[in-house]
Amino acid sequence: MTERILIVDDEETLCEVLKINLENEGYDVDVAYSAEQALTYDLNNYSLILLDIMMGEISGIKMAKMLKADVKTAGIPIIFCTARDSEDDMVMGLNIGADDYIMKPYTIRNVVARVKSVLRRASSHKSIVVAQAEKPNRLEVDGLCLDLEFKRCTVDGEEVKLARKEFELLAYLIKHRGKICSREQILSRVWSDEVVVLDRTIDVNITRLRSKIGVYGSYIVTRSGFGYGFRD
């Protein structure tokens, strides 16, 4: 099935150039010149949305929040396109769940590469979700396995002892594989029962995890200023 992409940007010429080049890569591509126009479409049909931040009454940030708040569209990957002077908007976009960002001005080659990368991650995530549905009590990535029912971690078949928060942190990162999770997100999900937790606590647990899970420690990635993730 051909993947469908929606471009939302008020620069008509840019939209047409992107549309032509993405169609040359085999994608079905639609264009909307405002968030208002895009919201009239059946967005459930799209595999990915390329979304400009600086638009009219409804900005890209506002539209993304609307999409993420609706269970029907929350899972659609979003790539933000942002001007060089809108770094704050870019960070805000990532914090509300955007999958990537592209700084303007950009090259078509860069856009195509980012689109392919995000779609690969989305496809991988869907595969994990299916696997979790079939084995709801297990998370497996190559030779790394977490048994969620018995709270047991094995690396290439050998059991590894993890502290409770280490286990919960690793499970959270794997469940969100392919995305960067902010410190705020990690603290609210993994340390929700704690009164006061320092950011340094996350760093310490990440360091311990990388050491304990051997070669799979390299799967845990750090994005300075953004947070942590578990790579594809």
| Length reported for the chain | 232
pLDDT at 154: 96
Token pair of 155, please?
């690396």
pLDDT at 136: 61
**Cis? peptide before 77, omega within 30° of 0:** no
DSSP 182: P
pLDDT at 138: 86
pLDDT at 127: 55
pLDDT at 195: 47
| H-helix or E-strand spanning residue 126 | helix 108-134
| H-helix or E-strand spanning residue 172 | helix 164-175
pLDDT at 134: 54
Measure Cα distances from 218 to 209, 211, 213 in Å: 10, 10, 9
User: Is the Cα torsion angle 62, 173, 171, 121 positive or negative in sign?
Assistant: positive
Strands 152-155 and 144-147: antiparallel
Write 21-27 long-range contacts (CB < 8 A, 24+).
21/108, 21/111, 21/112, 22/111, 22/112, 22/115, 25/112, 25/115, 25/116, 26/2, 27/2, 27/3, 27/115
Rounded Cα gap, residues 37 and 20, in angstroms:
20
pLDDT at 199: 64
Measure Cα distances from 94 to 97, 121, 164 in Å: 5, 16, 28
AA letter at 226: F
Rounded Cα gap, residues 26 and 90, in angstroms:
28
pLDDT at 201: 85
The residue to which tokens 């030779």 are assigned: 143
Tell me the pLDDT of the chain (232 aa) as tens digits.
689 999 999 999 999 999 999 999 999 999 999 999 999 999 999 999 999 988 888 998 899 999 988 888 988 999 998 875 566 766 777 777 788 888 888 889 999 999 998 898 777 656 555 555 555 688 999 999 999 988 999 999 999 999 999 999 999 999 999 899 998 899 888 887 654 556 678 889 999 999 999 999 999 999 988 899 998 6
Overall pTM surpassing 0.85 (yes/no) = no
Nearest to 174 by CA among 224, 135, 116, 117: 135
